[in-house]
Amino acid sequence: MTMPSLGGISQAQLRELLNEMGQPAYRAEQIRLHAWRGSALGFGKMENLPARLRTQLHSRLSWSSLQPVDSTVADRGLTEKLLLRATDGQEVEAVMIRHEGSPASRPRRTVCVSSQVGCAIGCSFCATGQLGLRRNLEAGEITDQVLEAARRWGASGLGQPTNVVYMGMGEPLQNYSAVVSSIRLLQEWGVAPRRVVVSTSGLVPEIDRLAAEGLPVRLAISLHATSDEVRDRLVPLNRRYPIEDLLAAGLRFTARTGRRVSLEYVLIAGVNDSSQDAEGLRRLAAQLHGHVNLIPMNKIPGSQLAAPPLDRCRAFAAMVGPRATMRISRGDRATAACGQLRAAMEADRRRLERTALRLAASSP
């Protein structure tokens, strides 16, 4: 049986475990501060804890359910992609994004987390969808992505995560219970739900369920089209929950939570980037009273789909109006957006395997 990770248990559960070990409750706060601030890289490195307790912790808890496999830095060090391996060998991605702030905004440290290994939705423009769904992540595996980022930033003196977005691999609301549990766990670590964004491709019943949780998270709807005909092709889930039903669920979410709903719109040349699409998106955003994030499509090897030229993207944003912001994917520049890093690593492994087979076949 796999041991739970430190990030996968609540503070109350940690105190209970310490009580079983004959340790005072205040040790829980010491342990969590070490893990969150990057001042230790394992239980054995927590030198202000008794040696016996460190040994006990090592035998009862894992430091993390995920181990770093690869990382790459982009944007002058502001973006770092992580490839993380679970105990069963499956790999997921997380992206660490720092915003330096401005006179009008505070600095932010955002972690983009995965909720599944792969994805079952099958969006035609997403690299993760090409993997299919391997399995759901456990709540602790989601939380441990944020803790890994916290330790890296903390050890570098940059501070801890301020924001978390569920926009990595997978459809968060298809892994509903684990995602909600991870949000509650992260709240104990210091990430307020108001600083959490949950993205969904359109699971209407789960949107209503999330609205009733009492968690003031923000919701981002991955729209990507302004007509059901086009969205049926881009996001197959639309055949079950068409645009009208999806926007109605977004309005109910805002009414219940008081939190703004945003629209995510990946721009694809010749598919959803016409002036008619821009006008339709402007109307839908006004209907939802929401903001629009326009994202030029990330490159996917082997796909005929591509982003429009940058000037076309800017013109589209201008037509949508002040509700729209164009977001150049920083994860894409780090080859970590929407499953790109994992797909690239798998492609490298397959090439190595083919090379090894060829060498074996040619050897005497």
Active site residues: 93, 338
SS3 call for 265: strand
For residues 359 and 364, give the distance between their C-alpha atoms in angstroms, rounded to a whole number. 10
Residue 318 neighbours by CB under 8 Å, 6+ apart = none
Query: What residue ranges in the chain does DSSP mark as E strands?
Result: 66-74, 79-86, 91-99, 108-112, 116-118, 133-136, 163-166, 196-200, 218-222, 261-267, 292-296, 324-326
Cross-strand bridge partners of residue 112: 95, 165
For residues 361 and 338, give the distance between their C-alpha atoms in angstroms, rounded to a whole number. 36
Phi/psi for 303 (5° steps) reads -90, 140
Check if the beta carbon of residue 147 is closer than 8 Å to that of residue 164: no
For residues 128 and 40, give the distance between their C-alpha atoms in angstroms, rounded to a whole number. 33
